[in-house]
Amino acid sequence: MKGFKGGITMRDQVTEIGKGSIIQHGKHNDRIYLIRLCEDDLGIILQSISNLAKENDYSKIFCKVPKYIAPLFFADGYILEAYIPAFFNNKEDVFFLSKFLNSDRLRNIEHSQLKKLHNLLTENMNGTPKVNSAYKVRILSGSDVPQMTEIYSEVFKSYPFPIHNPEYILKTMQEDVVYFGAEKNGKLAALASSEIDREAGNAEMTDFATHPAYLGNRLSGILLRSMEEEMKEQGVHTLYTIARLNSLPMNKTFLRNKYRYSGTLIKNTNISGRIESMNVYYKHL
């Protein structure tokens, strides 16, 4: 997920705590998300985020930490929701750990969608769709931002980060976020981004959106393959995504492209107007 500082109002705040740990927190997602843990903060991080959660009455704490640190979180009542092997520099695994602070957060879990996911995971996903030659995929730049924010505003009623904001998009373009677009006759039809962590050698494949007028052309799959090629050229070892449970077509896109499912983050993210569960997938290049 993107960290952003620079004067633009966000529904949820991204900030540093301790000696270098990064969190996102706020009522929009009604949670704390520990994006990056600085090992120098091991002695204070659990108490710090617990105090912050109590002060703001958040209903969930969600943490992304190296596997060897996970036992400290388990001892504090956290549970494992997902993992990715060889996440850090193609060596150390990452665990996605959560603590639910309010039973209301666990109400109305998407039982029918979880059953559909189970069925989807048993399907044979061999073969990928052919590339539609009518669409061209390219890396996007600042001149594309008006079209980009138009598509994001059309597709998402809400999002965990302010992708509807042109200044935000421009800022992230300068921070190792590479945006890709599929266009037809010079007009953007779909887009997505690769958020690169160069220090750890991984990238999140995220922000997929297709304009409603172009649905049904499997443009997410076309984008994903171009994104993978670019990430391989840039020396990235591990690709991953956090995909909406309620968007089974998006889940199919990653499964068709040989990504592995590794867990579900229950009631984790405010997207398209409500807090939804999210599925974690990964792929090693």
Regarding beta strands 274-284 and 187-197, do their DSSP bridges make them parallel or antiparallel, or are they unpaired? unpaired
pLDDT at residue 23, as a whole number: 97
276 DSSP 8-state letter: E
Q: pLDDT tens across 103-112, in order?
A: 999 988 999 9
- Angstrom distance (rounded) from CA 115 to CA 99: 24
Residue 67 CA to its chain's centroid (Å)? 19
Q: Spell out the residues 6+ positions from residue 215 whose beta carbon is closer than 8 angstroms to its own.
A: none
The answer to whether the pTM exceeds 0.75 is yes
pLDDT in tens, the chain (285 residues): 444 333 333 478 999 999 999 999 999 999 999 999 999 999 999 999 999 999 999 999 999 999 999 999 999 999 999 999 999 999 999 999 999 999 999 988 999 999 999 999 999 776 665 667 789 999 999 999 999 999 999 998 778 778 888 999 999 999 999 999 999 999 999 999 999 999 999 999 999 999 999 999 999 999 999 999 999 999 999 999 999 999 999 999 999 999 999 999 999 999 888 999 999 999 999
What is the rounded CA–CA span in Å between residue 96 and residue 161?
19
List Cβ neighbours of 79 (8 Å cut-off, separation of 6 or more): 97, 98, 99
Domains of the chain (ranges; CATH) run: 13-106 (3.40.630.30), 136-284 (3.40.630.30)
- The per-residue pLDDT for range 58-67, each reduced to its tens digit, is 999 999 999 9
Distance of alpha carbon 10 from alpha carbon 81, whole angstroms? 27
